[in-house]
Amino acid sequence: MMAVEIATNPSFKPGKPKPRGFSVGDSLSALWDCTVDGRQFMVAAPKSSRPEPYTVILNWQAGLKK
């Protein structure tokens, strides 16, 4: 997990990334959120180390037209 300070005025300018001191793991499916001030995080981690299967539905909009 990294943090980046961002300036928006007069234009968008990101700062240098800084490590936050913890990791949410290598899983791309990690669910996390933080408070508005960015000081507290909540991470939902799976109980098992084996990832759950998921289904990707392509062209799902065509199924709505039937």
Q: What is the mean pLDDT of each run of 10 residues along the chain (66 residues)?
A: 85 87 58 79 72 84 80
In a domain, 57, yes or no: no
Residue 19 to residue 17: CA distance in whole angstroms: 7
How high is the pLDDT of residue 26?
A: 58
Asked if 4 and 16 touch (Cβ cutoff 8 Å), the reply is yes
In a domain, 36, yes or no: yes
Total domain count for the chain? 1
In a domain, 41, yes or no: yes
For residue 17, the enclosing domain spans 1-45
In a domain, 54, yes or no: no
In a domain, 25, yes or no: yes
The verdict on pTM exceeding 0.75 is: no
How high is the pLDDT of residue 50?
A: 74
DSSP assignment, residue 37?
T
How high is the pLDDT of residue 28?
A: 46
In a domain, 12, yes or no: yes
